[in-house]
Amino acid sequence: MAYNWKFSSVGGAVRVKIDSGADIAHLGELDRKMWTVLSCPAKNLEFDQKTLELLDADHDGNIRVDEVIATAQWLTGILKDPDTLLTRGTEIPFSAFNEENPDGARLLASARQILKNLKLEKESIALEDTADFVKIFAETKFNGDGIITPASAGDDEALAALIATIADKIGKATDRSGADGITADHIEAFYTALADYAAWQEAGTEEVFPFGDKTADALAACNALKDKVADFFMRCKLIGFEAAATDAVGVSVEKIGAIEGNLALAAAEIGEEPLAKPAADGVLPLDAVNPAWKAAVEDMRALVLAPEKASLTEAEWNEILGKFAPYTTWMDAKKGAEVEGLGLEAVKAELAAARKEDLLKLVEADKALEEEALSIEAVDKLLRLYHNFFDFLNNYVVLQDFYDPDRKAMFQAGRLYIDQRSTDLCVRVDGPNPDISSLSGMFILYCACKSDKLGKTMNIAAVLTAGDTDGLRPGKNAVFYDRDGNDWSAVVTSVVENPISVRQAFWAPYRKAGRWISDKVNKVASEKEAKGEGTLSNITESATAKPASGVETATKAAPFDVGKIAGITIAVAAVSGVFVAIISVLKSLTWWQWIVLVAALMLIISLPSMFIAWRKLRRRDLGPVLNANGWAINAASLVNVKFGRTLTEVAKFPKLSAVDPVERRKVRRRRFWCCLIALLLAAAAFCYFTDRLTCIGLPFHKPQPVEEAVEAPADSLAAADTVALADAPVEAPVAEAL
Q: Say if residue 684's pLDDT is above 80.
A: no
CA distance 63 to 123: 34
pLDDT in tens, 479-500: 999 999 999 999 999 888 887 7
Domain end among 380, 403, 426? 403
Residue 564 lies in a domain: no
Q: Which pLDDT belongs to residue 698?
A: 44
Query: Quick one: pLDDT at residue 724?
Result: 43
Residue 716: pLDDT band with limits 50, 70, 90:
very low
Residues 6+ apart with CB under 8 A from 150: 160, 161, 163, 164, 179, 181
Q: Does 266 share its domain with 324?
A: yes
> CB–CB of 466/421 below 8 Å?
yes
- Are 30 and 16 in contact by the 8 Å Cβ rule? The answer is yes
CA distance 397 to 28: 12
Whether residue 568 is contained in a domain is answered as: no
Q: Is residue 374 part of a domain?
A: yes
Q: Is the pLDDT of residue 390 over 90?
A: yes
In this prediction, residue 593 carries a pLDDT of 66
Residue 659: pLDDT band (50, 70, 90) is low
- Predicted local confidence at residue 502, as pLDDT: 64
444 located within any domain: yes
At 168 the three-state DSSP class reads helix
Q: Check whether residue 489 and residue 517 sit in a common domain.
A: no
Instruction: Tell me the C-alpha distance between 65 and 49, whole Å.
Output: 18
- Tell me which of 292-301, 408-417, 589-598 is least confident: 589-598
pLDDT band at residue 319 using 50, 70 and 90 as cut-offs: very high
| Residue 721 pLDDT | 46
Backbone phi, psi, residue 124, to 5°: -155, 160
Strands of 37-41's sheet, edge to edge?
Answer: 62-64, 37-41, 632-633
DSSP 449: E
Tell me the chain's radius of gyration from C-alpha atoms: 50
φ, ψ for residue 406 (rounded to 5)? -95, 0
Is it the case that residue 646 has pLDDT exceeding 90?
no
Does residue 556 lie in a domain region? no
Q: Are residues 52 and 121 in the same domain?
A: yes
Domain membership flag for residue 81: yes
Q: How far apart are CA 674 and CA 716, in angstroms?
A: 61
pLDDT-based confidence at residue 119 (cuts at 50, 70, 90): confident
Beta bridge partners of 269: none
**Do residues 159 and 108 share a domain?**
no
By C-alpha distance, which of 634, 618, 627 is closest to 399? 634
Give burial (CB, 10 Å; 0-12/13-18/19+) of 218: buried
pLDDT of 46 above 80: yes
State yes or no: pLDDT of 696 exceeds 50: no
pLDDT score at 686: 65
Give the pLDDT of residue 655: 66
Beta carbons within 10 angstroms of residue 121's beta carbon: 7
Whether the per-residue pLDDT at 25 is higher than 90: the answer is: yes
Mean pLDDT, to the nearest integer, of 246-262?
A: 83
My answer on whether 133 and 242 are in the same domain is no
Residues 276 and 325 in one domain: yes
For 212, residues 6+ apart whose C-beta sits below 8 A from its C-beta are none
Phi-psi region of 151 (alpha: psi -120 to 50; beta: other; left: phi over 0): alpha
Label residue 368 by pLDDT band (50, 70, 90).
confident
What number of other Cβ atoms are within 10 A of residue 4's Cβ?
8
Which position has the higher pLDDT, 533 or 698?
533
Cα distances (Å, whole numbers) of residue 634 to 65, 80, 390: 11, 32, 20
Q: How many domains does the chain have?
A: 6
Residue 676's pLDDT band, with cuts at 50, 70 and 90, is confident
As a whole-number percent, the residues of the chain with pLDDT over 70 amount to 77
pTM for this model (two decimals) = 0.58
At 712, is the pLDDT very low, low, confident or very high (cuts 50, 70, 90)? very low
* Cα dihedral 331, 336, 340, 343 in deg (nearest 10): -100
Same domain, 43 and 80: yes
- Tell me, yes or no, whether 441 and 378 share the same domain: no
Q: How confident is the model at residue 710 (pLDDT cuts 50, 70, 90)?
A: very low
381, 54 Cβ separation under 8 angstroms: yes
**Quick one: 229 and 323 in the same domain?**
yes
In this structure, the answer to whether residues 32 and 94 fall within a common structural domain is yes
The fraction of the chain above a pLDDT of 90, given in percent, is 36
Average pLDDT score over the chain: 81
In a domain, 560, yes or no: no
Is 535 among the domain residues? no
381 and 88 Cβ atoms separated by less than 8 Å: no
CA distances from 152 to 187, 350, 363, 420 (A): 14, 20, 9, 64
Q: Which domain holds residue 161?
A: 150-203+341-367
260 pLDDT more than 60:
yes
Residues 486 and 632 in one domain: yes
Pairing of strands 443-451, 456-464: antiparallel
Indicate whether 210 and 298 sit together in one domain: yes
Q: Is 217 within 8 Å of 329 (Cβ atoms)?
A: no
